[in-house]
Amino acid sequence: MKNWDENTVRHTRFDYPLLIIVVLLSGLGLTMVFSSSAVLAQERFGDGLFFLKKMLTYACLGFAVMSLIMRVPYLYWKKLVYPLFIISFIFMLLTLYSGLGLTVSGARRWIILGPFHFQTSELAKIVIILFLAYSLERKSEKMERFAVGVAPNILIPGILVLMVLFSKDLGTAFVMGLLIVTMLFLGGTSFKHLFFLFLGAVPMFFYLIFQEGYRVRRITGFLNPWADRYGAGFQMIQSLLAFSEGGILGKGLGAGQQKLFYLPEAHTDFIFSVLGEELGLIGVIMTIVFFLLFCHRGIKIATQAPDLFGRYLGLGIVILIGLQSLLNMAVVMGLLPTKGLVLPFISYGGSALVMTLFSVGILLNISMYQAAGTPPMFKKR
């Protein structure tokens, strides 16, 4: 399936620097998962290596999936956009309304597939990127028309966002919403349309926050964590203490104290806090640099793609991983209210890691096709 002239495409090897960055981030993740979870795993399961073993299994599976996906020409994903959308929709229906759904921490976002638990929103994120890349290319000349170019690209992905909201996972829905808006901006949506979308989204966002008491408590805990130091503000205070105790050089790998049942979700949502305590400011900066290098390589790959589908697809993947990384770091550093978002490649979580490596496989395949001349530009406003 091809929609560009082979004479205008230069075939290359996959992007080794991107792969090296991904391997380094995943290795750092395995290290920090073990360090942050060993005591909890020993206490809960009698095996200090429990979480490390599971994460290592997920990493092996993820890299196997990545090595397979990177060999699939990215244009073939056009054929699978709607089938994957339907599959994702069915998975989310089963999660919400069948006995296969599993509720964790108040959010019903997991589906039980035999011995595996799969977070269906992780697939939905990739499906949204695929759909928007496909649709934005097809409607590249119609984006100035709201009814034709903009509305379908909000309403159709919005179905999956709405289902995530039904599962009471506002953080993931927020990420998906930002992803959609950012890709619409890149696709040529006018500032006027984006502004009106913003005006419509703000009251809805505040309604969703004030609809649930625990979300309000998260906001108040963020604004003044010390006012409720043993309640809504506890997690934020412990996270800030971890960074404070780490200093410049850190306490040393495995020597952190906050993970010893002081910091909730130390091996998942707040693993960056443990990293800050044990590896210090140097470790924090090193991790941020790795993510910046990932985004740099990803943007370079996307902008050199020979067609708009490849450009939008590559940039969507970079936006998703970069956005989740930024939001997670901002939360644990006290810059945003607490959300249930993991740090890509680093946090414990099989579904997140496998689907992230799945998306990296697509990005690596895009890197194997480069425009021989001047790459096609985005539609100008």
Q: Give CA separation, 181 vs 130, 176, 187, 189, in Å.
A: 15, 9, 10, 9
Confidence band, pLDDT 50/70/90 cuts, at residue 374: low
State residue 200's pLDDT score: 83
Q: Is the pLDDT of residue 136 over 80?
A: yes
The reply to whether 381 falls in a domain is no
Domain that holds residue 284: 6-371
The reply to whether 376 falls in a domain is no
Tens digit of each residue's pLDDT (9 = 90 or more) over 35-74: 999 999 999 999 989 999 999 999 999 999 999 999 999 9
Distance of CA 121 to the CA centre of its chain: 10
The reply to whether 361 falls in a domain is yes
The tokens of 40 are what? Answer: 């909890």
The reply to whether 377 falls in a domain is no
Neighbours of 321 (CB within 10 A): 23
Tens digit of each residue's pLDDT (9 = 90 or more) over 280-336: 999 999 999 999 999 999 999 999 999 999 999 999 999 999 999 999 999 999 888
The reply to whether 350 falls in a domain is yes
> What average pLDDT does this structure show over 104-109?
74
> What average pLDDT does this structure show over 120-140?
94
Confidence band, pLDDT 50/70/90 cuts, at residue 380: low
Radius of gyration over alpha carbons of the chain, in Å?
21
Tens digit of each residue's pLDDT (9 = 90 or more) over 244-266: 999 999 999 988 888 887 888 78
**Integer Cα distance of 344 and 348 in angstroms:** 9
Task: Name the 3-class secondary structure at 11.
Answer: strand
Tens digit of each residue's pLDDT (9 = 90 or more) over 213-232: 777 888 887 788 887 787 77
84: exposed, middle or buried (C-beta count within 10 Å: 0-12, 13-18, 19+)? middle
State residue 3's pLDDT score: 56
The reply to whether 380 falls in a domain is no
Residue 266 carries which DSSP code?
Answer: T
**Integer Cα distance of 236 and 197 in angstroms:** 32
State residue 379's pLDDT score: 54
The reply to whether 94 falls in a domain is yes
Provide the percentage of residues in the chain whose pLDDT is more than 90: 59
The reply to whether 38 falls in a domain is yes
Contact between residue 156 and residue 131 where contact means Cβ atoms under 8 Å apart: yes
Comparing CA positions, the residue from 287, 270, 286 lying closest to residue 338 is 270
**Integer Cα distance of 358 and 63 in angstroms:** 8
pTM greater than 0.85 (yes/no): yes
Comparing CA positions, the residue from 298, 303, 268 lying closest to residue 359 is 298
Contact between residue 346 and residue 31 where contact means Cβ atoms under 8 Å apart: no
Q: How many CA atoms lie within 13 A of 42 on its CB side?
A: 8
State residue 146's pLDDT score: 83
The tokens of 141 are what? Answer: 């000349």
The tally of domains found in the chain comes to 1
